[in-house]
Amino acid sequence: MTSSNNSYQPSQTILQASATNIGRLFKGIADQSPDNNAIIEYDRRITYRELNDRVNQLANGLLDKNLKHGDRIALIARNCAAFLEVELACAKIGAILVSLNWRLAREEVKHCLDLTQPKLIFSAIEFQELLPNSGEVQNILFHTEYENLLRNSSNEEPTDLVDAENGLVIIFTSGTTGLPKGALISHRAIITRALIFAEETRAPKNDTFIAWTPLFHMGSNDFSIATLLRGGQVVIIDGYQPDEIIRSIEMYPVHYLTVVPGMIEDFINQLKLSNAKPKPIGLIGAMADLVPRSMLKEITILLDAPYFNTFGSTETGNPPASGNLIPIGIAPEVLSKKQNNFCEIRLVDPNDNDVKDGEPGELAIRGPSLFSGYWANEEANAEAFRNGWFHMGDVFRRTPEGLLDFVDRVKYMIKSGGENIYPAEIEQHIMVDDRIIDVAVVRKPDERWGEVPVAFVASNSDKIKSIDIIDLCRDRIAKYKLPKEVHFLKNDEIPRSTSGKIQRHILEQRLTIK
């Protein structure tokens, strides 16, 4: 008989049965394919059986040190197999990995540690100067102390019950101002991101992913875990090493190859110099809006793969927009994006009212791939999660066809004489010229207008002048949006974050220095 109680709630037993976690899913893959390669690190190969044994040894070693459910474990190291071992061990015991960016300054690292209060730190010896001189938190060095911990521990499966909503990893966002915020990402979010990527791109189970971008960022972290959950192999490379990346794509079919702004120009040159002949590649790329159109065309031809025209973030994964590909050999005039099928979105004004199609509005999103909030930062959470939606801080316009055109970050908006200017509106017209390698439009204080747009440009031609840059925009955008100054830089002089994004605040600081 069906209960008539409309307030029925499922029992805890039912809730437990409907949940899972990354540790147990990984064990299932290891049981199914024990002798398949899980990780390839240069000449070292680790099978799923070996990796699961090592992860269990580490997990039990952590339990022996009285690490418990919800405790934080920090890690600061370059890309290596041990990075994924620590993350999977955390997954099996319910601990939370604090993924530290080794490119941060000492004070920034201290902020991340003070914020998360880890009980243990795994670290490479080269980064000891970034860590506080304190004996309160045990610091285990890669690799001797780390290997000793594994050697003295059991490889039995841990029995801790870890829920899907438990946090797995804290990844620090590369904000343009202020101190980093720690985004807490749950087992549920990572599993969902893996499923969304596999469904939308038809990723094969026996895939190869090349983790060359930093594992402390979501780009390599998300896709490495997703690959291991599908029974594929992760090739680990410590940073941008074009020879190693080319060697890998010539050796293995790769469904998704990460290429990012800041490396594409050099990678194009390296591919040509080496006369590379890669195995089949399914798709490439990230952050298409930041790549010169001519380079989009050339890199897709050289790798014979379409470009992944997505828009996501550490907080959301691939959603809200990961359904579009830029065809091979096309230099697109526009980069309209298709909404992901597995999320809800709204475009809203500053008062959270929906904007009309064609009007700019901040993107607000709901969906199962979302993170669980910023760690110990209620102020940021209250601002970001207004009215039951996560506000990304990114401005889009919805086209008549229902696609999404990226406008800019809310915080990059230039307020000039009462008018709103979004830098990306200007940059897209400059980027269409083949002589342009990259461009960033930033704000400069102005006595008359309050703020005015100024362009920093990297070009492959020494003949291009400031007036040429302005003429690229003239008659295409309103006169008040035209850059008031143009500064030329070499491409390697453009300041970038570890994820390849231009650090606009540094360029703005250059304008204010007398």
Q: What is the pLDDT of residues 410-469, one digit of tens each?
A: 778 787 866 778 788 899 889 889 899 999 999 898 877 778 999 999 999 999 999 999
- Final residue belonging to a domain, choices 216, 239, 262: 239
With respect to residue 451, please indicate whether it lies within any of the assigned structural domains.
yes
| Structural domain harbouring 435 | 413-512
pTM assigned to the model: 0.83
What is the average pLDDT across 317-344? Answer: 92
When pLDDT is cut at 50, 70 and 90, the band that residue 178 belongs to is low
The answer to the question of residue 377 being in a domain is no
Among the candidates 175, 207, 239, a domain finishes at 239
Confidence (pLDDT) at 2: 47
Asked whether residue 301 is domain-assigned, the answer is no
Confidence of residue 353 (pLDDT cuts 50, 70, 90): very high
> In terms of Cα–Cα distance, which of 28, 154, 153, 145 is closest to 91?
28
Tens of pLDDT, residues 207-240: 999 999 999 999 999 999 999 999 999 999 999 9
pLDDT of residue 207: 94
Average model confidence (pLDDT) across the chain: 91
Q: What is the model's pLDDT at position 5?
A: 55
Residue 19: how many other CB atoms lie within 10 Å: 16
- Peptide bond before 143: cis, by omega within 30 degrees of 0? yes
Please report the pLDDT score of residue 476 as a whole number: 81
The CATH number of residue 111's host domain is 3.40.50.12780
- Percent of all residues in the chain with a pLDDT value above 70, rounded to a whole number: 96
How does DSSP classify residue 288? G
What pLDDT sits at residue 1? 40
Q: Which helix (H) or strand (E) holds 454?
A: strand 450-459
Residue 94 lies in a domain: yes
Query: Of the candidates 211, 239, 267, which is a domain's last residue?
Result: 239
CA angle 148, 152, 153 (to 5 degrees): 120
According to the model, what pLDDT value does residue 448 have? 74
CB of 414 within 8 A of CB of 440?
A: no
Distances (CA, A) of 328 to 53, 208, 297, 431: 42, 21, 7, 19
Both tokens assigned to 472: 């690229």
Q: Estimate to the nearest angstrom the gap between the alpha carbon of 130 and the chain centroid.
A: 23
> What pLDDT is attached to residue 297?
96
Residue 176 pLDDT greater than 60, yes or no = no
The SS3 assignment for 222 reads: helix
> For a pLDDT cut of 90, what percent of the chain falls above it?
71
- pLDDT of residue 502 exceeding 90: no
pLDDT, tens digit, 9 for 90 and up, residues 369-402: 999 999 999 999 999 999 999 999 888 999 999 9
Average pLDDT over residues 48-64: 98
Q: What is the CATH number of the domain that holds 442?
A: 3.30.300.30
pLDDT of res. 512: 76
* DSSP run (H or E) holding 281: strand 281-284
Counting the structural domains of the chain, the total is: 2
302 in Cβ contact with 272 (< 8 Å): yes
**What is the C-alpha to C-alpha distance for residues 176 and 495, in angstroms, rounded to an integer?**
11
- Is residue 80 in some structural domain? yes
Please tell me the distance from the alpha carbon of residue 348 to that of residue 360, in angstroms, as a whole number. 8
Residue 38 within a domain: yes
- β-strands 361-366, 390-398 pairing: antiparallel
Residue 149 lies in a domain: yes
Report the pLDDT averaged over residues 116-132. 94
Whole-number Å distance between alpha carbons of 116 and 86: 17
Distance CA 483, CA 486 (A): 7
In a domain, 66, yes or no: yes
Q: Which amino acid is present at 438?
A: D
